[in-house]
Amino acid sequence: MNPLVSGLAPPPAATVMAGYRQALPLLDLTVGTPWYGPPEAFLAAVRECAQSRGDERTQYDVYAPAQGAAELRDEICRLYRRAYNLTLDPEQILVTHGATGAVWTAILALSGTDDEILLPDPCYTLYEPIVTILGRRPVRVAGSEADNFLLDPETVARAIGPGTALLVLNSPVNPTGAMYDQARLAELVAVTHTAGVHIVHDEVLDCFARRQPHIPVLAVADQGIIAVNSLSKRLGITGWRIGWLAGDPSLVAVATRVHPLTSIAVNHIGQVAGAAALAAPDHDRMVTDRSIQVATAGAAFLESLRTVPGFARGLSLPDGGVYAFVDVRAVPDALTIETGSEPVDVAVTRALRDRYGIATLPGSVFGPSGTGRIRISLAVSPSRLIEAAHRLAGDEANRRSS
Ligand SMILES: Cc1ncc(COP(=O)(O)O)c(C=O)c1O
């Protein structure tokens, strides 16, 4: 067995759900899979590809081009142009197995064994195990709580050492929902460029930007930058595994040599259907509408949560993304939860699960800075959020009357 595997923590969502024995059905608020399914344009293209016969049929049954289907790479370029006024050539796009496959490929292609990879703290739970399993060294860079845990360029500069190869940046941020503005990105680019460190920018939540526009790092600099994205959240197709990396042509060229070694190519029908969905005339409107729906349901849920004792502190809809990163440090006292020797976020997560049947993730699984918070997905169905709000409110009413 690879000795690096034995050191990996078990998947946090599975750990949180394991051993639930209460009578209430468990409401899963751990996952960021959006409740809306694929748009009709995607499904229609899947049907068409699956039913096509003869040469066309053969085309979809064999390996897709290693760099990705031409129609998808063209549509991704059009998307960057429409959304961000960025001009990319299809040669600058590599189609991968979701954004996760793009992060994996970028790290494998752009760093060497034992290199240091800077990761924000807190950050998406898969970055650190990917870095570790690839034999690189994860170095956490903590943002300050007062600054919404965003990375401070000076702190990043101090974290860069002779062995640093990459900074993995994510905006809007999973788990916090915070977003980087142009000025901060420009400073981060300046400190990393000076040190010869490349940036991998995970933008998978870019279509959930609320209080400020999403700024791709690629809009700030084109050298030394790899953008990572996918259709998972944008189209509600996390299961189809259609993602990409894009940017600096010399870096994409290296990634394009590496990716076929992991899996040859990404499934062809998903790529063709993804292209059709991106090209649909109502695509941009639909994505905006869905983002507003997620925000509306999320805001209503958080408003209910504010009425539960202990939860009031600073609770508001984050600037972007599909999660709320909620401060629960006052919750054990307010709801009489025994924490014992456990971190407060772990104890609160367990109590929410066992008292209310609501599964959330403890903030500490996103890194040490997340201790004292829990992550709640706002992208689950509005009905599930409403049911969760009812359970919390009902339990509170019972508690007061007892
Ligand atoms: C920041 C971030 N990156 C990547 C992913 C995974 O995306 P994909 O399904 O495209 O691999 C997620 C999923 O929640 C995420 O939050």
Q: Which atom of ligand 1 is nearest to the CA of 243?
A: 10
Q: What is the pLDDT of residue 116?
A: 98
d(CA 227, CA 392) in angstroms, rounded, equals: 39
Instruction: Residue 99: name the closest of 313, 252, 270, 244 by CA.
Output: 244
Q: What is the pLDDT of residue 396?
A: 54
Cis peptide before 175 (omega within 30 of 0): yes
d(CA 208, CA 324) in angstroms, rounded, equals: 13
What residue owns the CA closest to ligand 1's atom 7? 99
Look up residue 102 and give its two tokens: 């793009």
Q: What is the pLDDT of residue 313?
A: 62
d(CA 32, CA 175) in angstroms, rounded, equals: 10
The CA 99 to ligand 1 mean position distance, Å, reads 6
Q: What is the pLDDT of residue 208?
A: 98
The answer to whether the beta carbons of residues 259 and 96 sit under 8 Å apart is yes
Q: Which atom of ligand 1 is nearest to the CA of 101?
A: 11
Look up residue 133 and give its two tokens: 């399993």
d(CA 200, CA 208) in angstroms, rounded, equals: 19
What residue owns the CA closest to ligand 1's atom 13? 32
Q: Which residues are CB-contacts of 31 (< 8 A; sequence separation ≥ 6)? A: 13, 377, 379, 380
Q: What is the pLDDT of residue 139?
A: 98
Ligand 1 pocket: which of 30, 226, 230, 240 to mutate (most atoms within 8 A of CB): 230
d(CA 285, CA 283) in angstroms, rounded, equals: 6
The answer to whether the beta carbons of residues 373 and 325 sit under 8 Å apart is yes
Unique residue bearing structure tokens 């981060």: 188
Q: What share of the chain is helix, strand, coil (3-state, %, to 5)?
A: 50, 15, 35
d(CA 57, CA 44) in angstroms, rounded, equals: 16
d(CA 370, CA 376) in angstroms, rounded, equals: 13
pTM to 2 decimal places: 0.95
Q: Which atom of ligand 1 is nearest to the CA of 99?
A: 10
Query: pLDDT tens track of the chain, all 402 residues?
Result: 899 998 898 888 888 888 888 889 999 999 999 999 999 999 999 999 988 876 666 688 889 999 999 999 999 999 999 999 999 999 999 999 999 999 999 999 999 999 999 999 999 999 999 999 999 999 999 999 999 999 999 999 999 999 999 999 999 999 999 999 999 999 999 999 999 999 999 999 999 999 999 999 999 999 999 999 999 999 999 999 999 999 999 999 999 999 999 999 999 999 999 999 999 999 999 999 999 999 999 999 999 999 999 997 668 999 999 999 999 999 999 999 999 999 999 999 999 999 999 999 999 999 999 999 999 999 999 999 999 999 998 865 555 555
Q: What is the pLDDT of residue 238?
A: 97
The CA 394 to ligand 1 mean position distance, Å, reads 34
d(CA 216, CA 84) in angstroms, rounded, equals: 8
Ligand 1 pocket: which of 174, 226, 376 to mutate (most atoms within 8 A of CB): 174
d(CA 330, CA 344) in angstroms, rounded, equals: 9
Which residues line the pocket of ligand 1, CB cutoff 6 A?
32, 98-100, 124, 170, 174, 202, 204, 230, 232, 238, 243
The CA 48 to ligand 1 mean position distance, Å, reads 28
Look up residue 72 and give its two tokens: 């998808």
Q: Which atom of ligand 1 is nearest to the CA of 229?
A: 10
What residue owns the CA closest to ligand 1's atom 12? 204
Give, to the nearest 10 degrees, the angle between helix 98-110 and helix 249-263: 110
Q: What is the pLDDT of residue 184?
A: 98
The CA 198 to ligand 1 mean position distance, Å, reads 20
Ligand 1 pocket: which of 232, 263, 294 to mutate (most atoms within 8 A of CB): 232
Give, to the nearest 10 degrees, the angle between helix 268-279 and helix 70-84: 30
Q: What is the pLDDT of residue 241?
A: 98
Q: Which residues are CB-contacts of 244 (< 8 A; sequence separation ≥ 6)? A: 68, 72, 73, 76, 93, 94, 95, 96, 102, 228, 229, 230
Unique residue bearing structure tokens 């085309």: 59
Q: What is the pLDDT of residue 14?
A: 84
Q: Which atom of ligand 1 is nearest to the CA of 230?
A: 10
The CA 202 to ligand 1 mean position distance, Å, reads 8
The CA 100 to ligand 1 mean position distance, Å, reads 6
The answer to whether the beta carbons of residues 255 and 110 sit under 8 Å apart is yes
Exposed e or buried b per residue across 288-313, where buried means at least 16 C-beta atoms within 10 angstroms of its C-beta: eebbeebbebbebbbebbeebebbee
What residue owns the CA closest to ligand 1's atom 16? 174
The answer to whether the beta carbons of residues 252 and 98 sit under 8 Å apart is no
Unique residue bearing structure tokens 């790290």: 107
Q: Which atom of ligand 1 is nearest to the CA of 32?
A: 14
Exposed e or buried b per residue across 19-41, where buried means at least 16 C-beta atoms within 10 angstroms of its C-beta: eeeeeeeebbbbebbbbeebbeb
